């Protein structure tokens, strides 16, 4: 039942049956582990060991820190009506981050009412990514000394200029025995100098087909 620990070391490829997605069986050697998503989105049963790394699925805790991205989007120059729509979407639908951090790469998938994005970066190497409009690019550098923290630095275009964003995710062991992920998101608008620091908390959550990494092969999930 040490799914989190195995997940820190290995990547599995799962062929999903067409008739059901209620169970996902991971087979390694002669052992079988089963993930059974629950209605509460809990990572596993109460007896499961806490996570020891960032790898896995994390759900935004809407009761702690500053879950709203309003301040961040304001610095980006986003229209007020669009910000309100974004806030409503985050209230109505869970924000999930699926992370796979190895010694060489950082892979992340983010889903919410307004977001469905999967990215992968080589650690320590600057990456240029062309945005959806096909004309602009963002520059990203990801660094990590171990699998309990990751720092993502991005230079990206905004509505009317450019911004620098630093996103630091850290595994936190709390005094009550809970394990959480803390995110510190710092944005600076390079045109007007405005800055905003947003601190959010995430709790462990279950793997579902929607948040699983997508490969090119149809019907294959990578976790």
Q: For residue 215, give the 3-state DSSP assignment.
A: coil
How confident is the model at residue 10, as a pLDDT? 43
Q: Are 99 and 107 in contact (CB under 8 A)?
A: yes
- Counting residues of the chain whose pLDDT is more than 90, the rounded percentage is 61
How confident is the model at residue 134, as a pLDDT? 80
Per-residue confidence at 188, pLDDT binned at 50, 70, 90? very high
Residues 6 or more apart from 118 whose CB is under 8 A from it? 107, 108, 109, 110, 213, 214
Structure confidence by residue, pLDDT tens digits, 41-56: 344 433 456 899 999 9
Strands annotated E in the chain: 13-15, 24-28, 31-35, 56-60, 96-101, 105-111, 116-122, 127-130, 137-146, 149-157, 162-173, 179-189, 195-205, 213-214, 220-222
Which ranges of the chain does DSSP label H, i.e. alpha helix?
3-9, 70-76, 80-92
Q: Is the pTM of this model over 0.85?
A: no
End-to-end CA gap in the chain: 16
Instruction: Look at residues 14, 183, 184, 195 and name the one whose alpha carbon lies nearest to residue 99.
Output: 183
How confident is the model at residue 114, as a pLDDT? 79
Alpha carbons 160 and 176: distance in angstroms, whole number: 45
Tell me the chain's radius of gyration from C-alpha atoms: 18
What average pLDDT does this structure show over 98-115?
93
Measure the CA dihedral 218/142/151/72, to 10°: -70
What average pLDDT does this structure show over 3-29?
41
Per-residue confidence at 18, pLDDT binned at 50, 70, 90? very low
């Amino acid at each position: 039942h040490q799914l989190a620990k195995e997940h820190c070391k290995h990547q599995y490829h799962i062929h999903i049956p067409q008739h059901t997605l209620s169970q996902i069986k991971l087979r390694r050697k002669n052992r079988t582990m089963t993930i059974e998503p629950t209605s509460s989105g809990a990572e596993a049963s109460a007896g499961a060991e806490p996570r020891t790394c960032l790898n896995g699925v994390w759900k935004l805790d809407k009761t702690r820190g500053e879950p709203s991205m309003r301040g961040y989007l304001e610095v980006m120059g986003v229209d007020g009506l669009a910000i309100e729509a974004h806030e409503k979407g985050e209230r109505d639908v869970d924000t999930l981050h699926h992370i796979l951090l190895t010694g060489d790469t950082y892979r992340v998938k983010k889903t919410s009412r307004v977001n469905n994005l999967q990215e992968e970066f080589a650690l320590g190497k600057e990456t240029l990514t062309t945005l959806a409009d096909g004309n602009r690019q963002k520059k990203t550098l990801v660094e990590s000394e171990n699998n309990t923290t990751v720092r993502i630095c991005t230079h990206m275009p905004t509505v009317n200029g450019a911004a620098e964003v630093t996103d630091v995710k850290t595994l936190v062991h709390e005094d009550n025995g809970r394990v959480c992920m803390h995110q510190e998101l710092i944005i600076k608008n390079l045109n007007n100098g405005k800055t905003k620091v947003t601190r959010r908390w995430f709790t462990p959550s279950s793997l579902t087909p929607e948040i699983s990494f997508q490969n090119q092969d149809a019907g294959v999930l990578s976790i």
